[in-house]
Amino acid sequence: MVMERILTEFGMGTSLRRGDYTQAAKRAVENALWHNSINAAELFGFDKADMAISVRIAVQRPEKVDRAAVAAVFPYGAPRVEVVQGGLDIPRPEGAGHPTVIAHVALTVSFDMERVA
């Protein structure tokens, strides 16, 4: 199997008041997905289900992200979700409550190019 990267997209998402790391991560994925319409699968003669999607999310508290909930955002393909230390937490001005959470994401779409050879 020869997995070849076809495209990479980036996104950012936030949870402004609830400190919800999963919600910020899902919004980052949606930000990356919803800003384009790429027909990469059809271009190479694949079905959309054949997309291998590498999802790398950066937040300050990786353990707080529900990977299955993030994977469920994808309408097709096989997402593999990795969460790493990064992103940004911004304390609330009044010093109470949850921080504003900022998540960053990089999505990489690959296909098994031996199938089209």
DSSP 30-68: HHHHHT----HHHHTT--GGG-EEEEEEEES-GGG--HH
- Convert the pLDDT of each residue in 68-96 to its tens digit: 999 999 988 889 999 999 999 999 877 67
- Convert the pLDDT of each residue in 28-76 to its tens digit: 999 998 877 667 777 778 888 888 899 999 999 999 999 999 999 998 8
Angle, alpha carbons 81-22-111 (nearest 5°):
20
How far is Cα 85 from Cα 36, in angstroms, rounded to an integer? 27
Alpha helices in the chain (DSSP H): 21-34, 40-43, 67-71
What is the residue whose two structure tokens read 């070849």? 4
Whether the predicted pLDDT of 4 surpasses 80: yes
